[in-house]
Protein backbone atom coordinates (compact mmCIF):
# COMPACT_ATOMS: atom_id res chain seq x y z
CA UNK A 1 0.00 0.00 0.00
CA UNK A 2 3.00 2.35 0.01
CA UNK A 3 1.85 4.02 -3.22
CA UNK A 4 -1.67 4.81 -2.03
CA UNK A 5 -3.16 7.58 0.06
CA UNK A 6 -6.69 8.60 1.02
CA UNK A 7 -7.76 12.15 0.26
CA UNK A 8 -11.04 13.84 1.08
CA UNK A 9 -12.25 17.05 -0.50
CA UNK A 10 -13.99 18.52 2.55
CA UNK A 11 -17.44 20.19 2.76
CA UNK A 12 -16.05 23.75 2.64
CA UNK A 13 -14.27 23.13 -0.66
CA UNK A 14 -17.28 21.31 -2.11
CA UNK A 15 -19.63 24.16 -1.12
CA UNK A 16 -17.24 26.70 -2.66
CA UNK A 17 -17.23 24.64 -5.90
CA UNK A 18 -13.47 24.17 -5.67
CA UNK A 19 -13.51 20.43 -6.28
CA UNK A 20 -12.63 20.77 -9.97
CA UNK A 21 -9.64 22.98 -9.28
CA UNK A 22 -8.47 20.72 -6.46
CA UNK A 23 -8.76 17.64 -8.66
CA UNK A 24 -6.71 19.45 -11.29
CA UNK A 25 -3.95 20.13 -8.72
CA UNK A 26 -4.03 16.45 -7.76
CA UNK A 27 -3.77 15.27 -11.38
CA UNK A 28 -1.11 17.84 -12.31
CA UNK A 29 0.76 16.74 -9.18
CA UNK A 30 1.19 13.31 -10.75
CA UNK A 31 -1.41 11.39 -8.73
CA UNK A 32 -3.70 8.86 -10.38
CA UNK A 33 -7.27 8.78 -9.05
CA UNK A 34 -8.03 5.09 -8.46
CA UNK A 35 -11.31 5.55 -6.62
CA UNK A 36 -13.78 8.34 -6.01
CA UNK A 37 -17.10 8.84 -4.28
CA UNK A 38 -19.34 11.75 -3.39
CA UNK A 39 -20.89 11.21 0.03
CA UNK A 40 -22.33 13.11 2.94
CA UNK A 41 -21.09 11.44 6.09
CA UNK A 42 -23.38 11.00 9.05
CA UNK A 43 -22.13 12.47 12.32
CA UNK A 44 -21.44 8.92 13.48
CA UNK A 45 -19.39 8.14 10.35
CA UNK A 46 -17.35 11.31 10.79
CA UNK A 47 -16.72 10.36 14.42
CA UNK A 48 -15.60 6.92 13.27
CA UNK A 49 -13.26 8.31 10.66
CA UNK A 50 -11.67 10.73 13.15
CA UNK A 51 -11.73 8.31 16.09
CA UNK A 52 -8.04 9.05 16.77
CA UNK A 53 -9.01 12.64 17.62
CA UNK A 54 -11.84 11.74 20.04
CA UNK A 55 -11.41 13.65 23.28
CA UNK A 56 -9.54 16.55 21.71
CA UNK A 57 -11.06 20.04 22.07
CA UNK A 58 -11.83 20.30 18.35
CA UNK A 59 -13.43 16.84 17.97
CA UNK A 60 -17.03 18.06 18.13
CA UNK A 61 -16.40 20.97 15.74
CA UNK A 62 -14.48 18.71 13.34
CA UNK A 63 -17.06 15.94 13.17
CA UNK A 64 -19.97 18.42 12.89
CA UNK A 65 -18.16 20.12 10.02
CA UNK A 66 -17.24 16.90 8.22
CA UNK A 67 -20.88 15.75 8.34
CA UNK A 68 -22.29 19.15 7.32
CA UNK A 69 -22.37 18.54 3.58
CA UNK A 70 -21.07 16.52 0.62
CA UNK A 71 -17.45 15.36 0.54
CA UNK A 72 -15.34 13.54 -2.05
CA UNK A 73 -13.19 10.69 -0.71
CA UNK A 74 -10.48 9.78 -3.25
CA UNK A 75 -8.02 6.92 -3.52
CA UNK A 76 -4.81 8.41 -4.92
CA UNK A 77 -1.88 6.46 -6.34
CA UNK A 78 1.65 7.74 -6.82
CA UNK A 79 5.15 6.79 -5.73
CA UNK A 80 5.53 8.04 -2.16
CA UNK A 81 1.84 8.95 -2.19
CA UNK A 82 1.35 9.74 1.52
CA UNK A 83 4.26 12.16 1.90
CA UNK A 84 3.89 13.70 -1.54
CA UNK A 85 0.19 14.38 -0.98
CA UNK A 86 0.87 15.99 2.40
CA UNK A 87 3.36 18.23 0.57
CA UNK A 88 0.77 19.07 -2.10
CA UNK A 89 -1.89 20.06 0.45
CA UNK A 90 0.32 21.94 2.93
CA UNK A 91 0.20 22.04 6.72
CA UNK A 92 -3.03 21.85 8.73
CA UNK A 93 -3.45 25.59 9.30
CA UNK A 94 -3.77 27.36 5.93
CA UNK A 95 -2.29 30.50 7.47
CA UNK A 96 1.00 28.59 7.80
CA UNK A 97 0.76 26.59 4.56
CA UNK A 98 3.41 27.10 1.88
CA UNK A 99 2.70 29.08 -1.28
CA UNK A 100 1.14 26.99 -4.02
CA UNK A 101 -0.33 24.35 -1.72
CA UNK A 102 -4.00 23.38 -1.88
CA UNK A 103 -4.70 24.54 1.67
CA UNK A 104 -2.95 27.86 1.08
CA UNK A 105 -5.07 28.53 -1.99
CA UNK A 106 -8.45 27.01 -1.08
CA UNK A 107 -8.76 26.75 2.73
CA UNK A 108 -10.31 29.42 4.91
CA UNK A 109 -9.42 28.31 8.43
CA UNK A 110 -7.68 25.74 10.62
CA UNK A 111 -10.90 23.78 11.02
CA UNK A 112 -12.29 24.16 7.51
CA UNK A 113 -9.15 23.41 5.56
CA UNK A 114 -10.42 22.07 2.23
CA UNK A 115 -8.73 18.65 2.12
CA UNK A 116 -7.71 15.61 4.15
CA UNK A 117 -4.64 13.49 3.49
CA UNK A 118 -3.55 10.32 5.29
CA UNK A 119 -0.52 10.73 7.55
CA UNK A 120 1.08 7.26 7.22
CA UNK A 121 0.92 4.17 5.03
CA UNK A 122 -0.78 2.28 7.85
CA UNK A 123 -3.48 4.93 8.22
CA UNK A 124 -3.86 5.25 4.45
CA UNK A 125 -4.74 1.56 4.26
CA UNK A 126 -7.28 1.88 7.08
CA UNK A 127 -8.78 5.08 5.68
CA UNK A 128 -9.13 3.68 2.15
CA UNK A 129 -10.92 0.66 3.60
CA UNK A 130 -13.21 2.99 5.61
CA UNK A 131 -14.69 4.43 2.40
CA UNK A 132 -14.03 1.95 -0.41
CA UNK A 133 -14.78 -1.66 -1.21
CA UNK A 134 -11.88 -3.33 -2.97
CA UNK A 135 -13.97 -3.79 -6.11
CA UNK A 136 -14.40 -0.02 -6.34
CA UNK A 137 -10.68 0.75 -6.46
CA UNK A 138 -9.16 0.57 -9.93
CA UNK A 139 -6.12 -1.60 -10.43
CA UNK A 140 -4.64 -1.47 -6.95
CA UNK A 141 -5.53 -4.87 -5.53
Respond yes or no: is residue 116 known to be catalytic: yes
Q: How far is the CB of 138 from Mg ion (least distance, A)?
A: 25
Q: Which of 53, 134 has the CB closer to ligand IDP?
A: 53
**Per CB under 6 A, 96 contacts ligand IDP:** no
Work out the end-to-end distance of the chain between its first and last CA atoms, rounded to an integer number of angstroms: 9
Instruction: Determine the Cα–Cα distance for residues 121 and 141; give it in Å rounded to an integer.
Output: 15
Catalytic residue among 18, 34, 103, 116: 116
**Per CB under 6 A, 74 contacts ligand IDP:** no
Name 113's Cβ contacts closer than 8 Å, sequence gap at least 6.
Answer: 10, 12, 92, 93, 94, 103, 107
Q: How far is the CB of 40 from Mg ion (least distance, A)?
A: 21
Q: Which residues bind Mg ion (CB under 5 A)?
A: 119
Pairing of strands 72-77, 4-9: antiparallel
Binding site for ligand IDP (CB under 6 A): 58, 61-62, 92, 110-111, 113, 116, 119
Amino acid sequence: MVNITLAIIKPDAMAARHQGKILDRILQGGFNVRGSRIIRMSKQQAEGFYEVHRGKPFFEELTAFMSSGPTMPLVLEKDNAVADFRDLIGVTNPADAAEGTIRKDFAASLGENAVHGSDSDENAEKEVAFFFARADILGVF
